[in-house]
Structure 1
């Protein structure tokens, strides 16, 4: 284990050609190298050999599904999962001495990379009004302070309770129960910023906010679309599923503004063909689409399918499915037939011939799955785009049957479980009624604030207390300067965290750091050793049990922190919530969940079985809980983004060496970028038109219809095969460019994949 760095890593950019394949032996080497720099060989082995195994530790890195018990590798993890779990298991520690040495002002100048590398938080800390240093505080005093602020508010709606998808089902359920017993639905979460558009679109068209496919469906599809996602870096274990699908005969169409390594070829490091051979080709067709062009693409495909049916009646569309299981087809078809090829090609950057070749792939395929991620959701028309994808699936009956369906690929390991547990500011009355009947109090019914609206409310002084459970809200949120100003406007900010991050440096008048157990650690409570549960992207709920000794004897679990806070804030009321029992035995939480959440009946017994529980998806049972009682065809429109001459459309993205907002190094080896994150990737033809060249220093300046200048300073230009007219740069460094008011229609999700910018040359 290496000591934490005292100084920031030095920016020293070198650029090599982008990789044309993902994983292989280098993935193993890099995973072990990072892991052994964080912790001991013994703890590395314990983590890795139990990760994603039955009764082991669920990887906190992403929400990809595990193979069925009996079909898992002994090493069932990816490079980034190995890095993430050992980043949490690090033997580096932050003590009170660290905070005496470093003021909040000093820490605010540091990068999240440096902050994260300092190690695990070990005791509660407080920054008091007028002070610029955190200092130790006892758990009793910390929770009394937070509870006192909550009780002193004029209205429960002056507090927000934010959570990240890293938390367990049990902690998420307790958090939403506490917030609603307290009297508010202000429950923003990270999904507001990643897959909110998916939830709205799928609810409207299919009656469920979740994907419809299983891992087995993916293995047996004939055709798989990968749209607006980068599995090689963000969901690496998906590559193993795609490899299996290819071996079973599937074809894959990748649609993305960048030709990512994981979309091109996969060398499975657990197979000889991936170590000494060439591995498997992933994309049979790669569509180099412009950012935001996906709605136009799928509408063009739908027009082509309708025209193919006209030419060969009864052979293309699934008329029985459309007649019996859908509504709105005629209106949709009339609209789709009017799609203009001039508009389609201008918006997508693709030729008609490229799109027609994809149509031919569709016509040869009986079972089709569409996978997508934030390259779809983080656009102004994210919801209409996903609705158009649903139209595409409905036309040929590719829903509710094996090997076909909709697959939103989520990031955080339990972000879907959070929603199942009630973390949403707009939970339906059916859930709130079940809470009322189970706990004996009537939850508030008015919708609460999501992430964007919470920032606005803090900025305007309407929110006085911010409680964040996991995550790095300040860095994940848009419009960094506005978000920071809003947080500093709070009376108290508190974060339940395992490690230090940028959000701890942006404080209210009073600020608390409440250190918690990580998922890798043993969780002993009065009722014995506990386990928690999580839900993956494919609606499978299973256990996770930590194996390591806690980083500090002063750590509390998330459940314990929230239960103790609830007791101090609410006293004996309202209703019949037994917070002490919840803290002592998480099984009592699951007992109550089993009577509230459909599909989780007999929760404790069923989740203990190998593989856990797969929640029922009504779509796969032919049930559509929509306004019409059927799957809904929709009419969707788009407009070509208004990008003035001399400007580019910027998308933010993660590097390969990064987990959500936290970079692990300054490298992004798949893209050939090493030693710096302050880079902007631009197509060489666009650079020529802008009279720029690789290595030029620029400021990236956002263009929006207000008078605020949004500027990301000191970036180096890297020629890169981005789609023409677009650029790419790393998140969260470029969140400063995303206007708070630039949100997706309907879902209110920030549009981090569609920012109009100009590049201003900086003279040395």
Structure 2
């Protein structure tokens, strides 16, 4: 590579004052203004105040915005800016009913922005696509279910159907959905995790025997240091900031490695603290903040491990926990030999950081007794994401920082129930929902061969093997890589079914038979036979919570996600006295009893513990140092490269693309056009690049350019009309917004073991 890797004019530790950034802390008045804007725009009713007052509290509504924990001792306010936006967005006073769809063809709606599509309001009636008029038209529920069942049964092979799920649906609907697929004869159950944290699910399972993080909320009261890699707390999980503030105040050190300087990990003002909001000073979060090159985390972790080894050599027996390594781990010697084979020159070049910077961070790690390792999609969405996680676990294992109070590995999940859905069976492997249990409980001979994840499903659409796509929530077509290729192929599907609360872009590429089935939202009252029903979800710390909707539904026509799944299943599957779809729809307690029977180790006495303050913990074997790996021990991972990138930029003009979510966004939902925490607003069609790289490439501020994918696989991929915007980034990379830049990421450019798209490390070229 000939482009500069670490321009000496660019600091990896100090803010570039001449490019946009937010001058204030995360939280504070900016957060309150953001909530107020959405509150005004949505014309929120008094019920919104009621819902927000009980948000994330026992027998209230559990927030749909993220998977952060709900504390046992709830305060007066238990929601953040993101949670308020998501809640008010769902409590929308606008309606997208039959009149709306009669006034717009599907082709016309394709020209609408994502924000405007959802802004049309809540869906009110079941709809069927009419190709003759190019419109969605009303249909009765009975007709919809009858025709969907008939269309699915008309498929030559049940394995040609795919059942996708976003992270929104509760555990009850998710369990029935997973059961429905397997009773039909397939395990094609991709999930939103496939686009973000599937790297975690697959690779943590390989190295420590569990597919989820090992920490709980309690650990943050006992940790001495917290290391962050590739996680933007201020935008993706703002309630975490309160926990960080508390930890910092008692002396915990925070060290951050991230290509962008994100305000939430720099400083925070608590909007619930009147003193700090008025006369107090913001809380500094990170003691050290290093802007690592995209894909350079493996190099950083290699350097940190080398520093630990040097400290051990200088003070034998005082740094590395040899007893833990000997008793609980496997592969240590081979890993250390591989680490020692890399030079500091190689590490500095790949990371974009100096040895002195990495040594500073290592000194904090070595001096801390208990360390928590936090990470987000900055580690998972890479071709070598498996090695990112393996190296991170290596660092923690060396000092026994997994399996004790105040320490552990902790991915921060985005969607509120994305982890829980996998726990109750949504996944493409038999291990996700044991076939023997399904035989015992329902007399079903479930398939045992693995099904399709999201990438495999898209490959199946390309080669014609996939004929039907059912989506339980979400906006899958917008979230996928290679979006333009996918949009062109989607209408060739025989069947598409969308269970949704609002219109979105995925609805605008209907298959030959296509339905939109409107469902209750998390905030809506779910009444079955006059009895209010609770649903449940799992947080990022493996705790389970009950949620009860508080608002009147926007239409009497709406059904719950649970009821829709059950009625679709009943219309599709042959009669089976053990599949009591009507009974389960009438009483969700019965579904939770089934979950307890299917997964007794995780969900014993489920109904009795449903509304336990702080949620009930389903346990984690690695937290107890019980390693469910092939060796029976935690696995060290020997580095085979210093780069997480699948393809290093080649040539002066090729850069590494990092995709971002804004402060005014949740996944594919766009609340507005203000990325307040980055000092950006007005448009999402931008390409961010540092000023030195702009000069090197002959670019000017505000210039309109095209980004072209530099992966050569016979397909041309480009996004035009992007505004060049100077920004504080490492050399050799550019950044822009997800999902607008998804068309640049090839379907086949993904993490090696999990097929998670490499949204944080795709090579691109700027075309003038």
Which residue is 2:13 aligned to? Answer: none
The answer to whether 1:697 aligns with 2:704 is: yes
Q: Residues 59-458 of structure 1: matches in 2 within 5 Å? A: 59-68=63-72, 70=73, 72-276=74-278, 277-428=280-431, 431-458=434-461
Offset of residue 608 of structure 1: 3.1
CA distance, structure 2, for counterparts of residue 479 and residue 209 of structure 1: 27
The answer to whether 1:751 aligns with 2:758 is: yes
Q: Residues 728-739 of structure 1: matches in 2 within 5 Å? A: 728-739=735-746
Offset of residue 526 of structure 1: 2.3
CA distance, structure 2, for counterparts of residue 181 and residue 209 of structure 1: 25
Q: Secondary structure at the match of 2:674?
A: coil
Q: Secondary structure at the match of 1:386?
A: helix
Which residue is 1:10 aligned to? Answer: none
CA distance, structure 2, for counterparts of residue 639 and residue 330 of structure 1: 18
Q: 1:183 to 1:352 in 2, by over 3 A?
A: same
Is 1:150–1:465's contact at 8 Å kept on the other side of the alignment? yes
Q: Secondary structure at the match of 1:478?
A: coil
Which residue is 2:524 aligned to? Answer: 521
Offset of residue 430 of structure 1: 7.3
CA distance, structure 1, for counterparts of residue 297 and residue 185 of structure 2: 41
Is 2:204–2:211's contact at 8 Å kept on the other side of the alignment? yes
CA distance, structure 2, for counterparts of residue 286 and residue 32 of structure 1: 31
Is 1:455–1:486's contact at 8 Å kept on the other side of the alignment? no
CA distance, structure 2, for counterparts of residue 20 and residue 362 of structure 1: 29
CA distance, structure 1, for counterparts of residue 137 and residue 332 of structure 2: 63
Which of 710, 715, 722 is residue 715 of structure 1 equivalent to?
Answer: 722
Cα deviation 1:598-636 (Å, max 9, x = unaligned): 221111012233333101111122210000111111112
Offset of residue 95 of structure 1: 1.4
CA distance, structure 1, for counterparts of residue 259 and residue 583 of structure 2: 51
Which residue is 2:10 aligned to? Answer: none
Q: Secondary structure at the match of 2:79?
A: coil
The answer to whether 1:28 aligns with 2:35 is: no
Q: Residues 625-704 of structure 1: matches in 2 within 5 Å? A: 625-638=628-641, 640=643, 641-643=647-649, 644-704=651-711
Is 1:429–1:445's contact at 8 Å kept on the other side of the alignment? no
Cα deviation 1:403-460 (Å, max 9, x = unaligned): 0000000000000001101111024187232222222212100000000110111122
Is 1:187–1:425's contact at 8 Å kept on the other side of the alignment? yes
Cα deviation 1:181-203 (Å, max 9, x = unaligned): 00000000110110011111110
In structure 2, stretches of 5+ residues that fail to align are 1-18
In structure 1, stretches of 5+ residues that fail to align are 1-14
Which residue is 2:41 aligned to? Answer: 37
CA distance, structure 1, for counterparts of residue 37 and residue 648 of structure 2: 45
Is 1:219–1:242's contact at 8 Å kept on the other side of the alignment? no
The answer to whether 1:579 aligns with 2:585 is: no
Q: Structure 2 length normalisation: TM-score? A: 0.95
The answer to whether 1:50 aligns with 2:54 is: yes
CA distance, structure 2, for counterparts of residue 252 and residue 753 of structure 1: 23
Is 2:152–2:495's contact at 8 Å kept on the other side of the alignment? no
Q: Secondary structure at the match of 1:543?
A: strand
Q: Secondary structure at the match of 1:428?
A: helix
Cα deviation 1:616-659 (Å, max 9, x = unaligned): 11112221000011111111222555212112111111110001
Offset of residue 527 of structure 1: 6.7
Q: Structure 1 length normalisation: TM-score? A: 0.96
Is 2:296–2:642's contact at 8 Å kept on the other side of the alignment? no
CA distance, structure 2, for counterparts of residue 140 and residue 34 of structure 1: 37
Is 2:476–2:506's contact at 8 Å kept on the other side of the alignment? yes
CA distance, structure 2, for counterparts of residue 94 and residue 509 of structure 1: 23
Q: Secondary structure at the match of 1:595?
A: helix
CA distance, structure 2, for counterparts of residue 65 and residue 376 of structure 1: 22
Q: Which moved more, 1:378-387 or 1:42-51?
A: 42-51
Q: Secondary structure at the match of 1:361?
A: helix
Is 2:424–2:433's contact at 8 Å kept on the other side of the alignment? no
Q: 1:594 to 1:45 in 2, by over 3 A?
A: same
Q: 1:19 to 1:480 in 2, by over 3 A?
A: farther
Which residue is 2:568 aligned to? Answer: 565
Cα deviation 1:55-87 (Å, max 9, x = unaligned): 10000000011111x2x2211111111011010
| Root mean square deviation of aligned Cα | 1.4
Offset of residue 530 of structure 1: 0.2
CA distance, structure 2, for counterparts of residue 486 and residue 189 of structure 1: 20
Which residue is 2:501 aligned to? Answer: 498
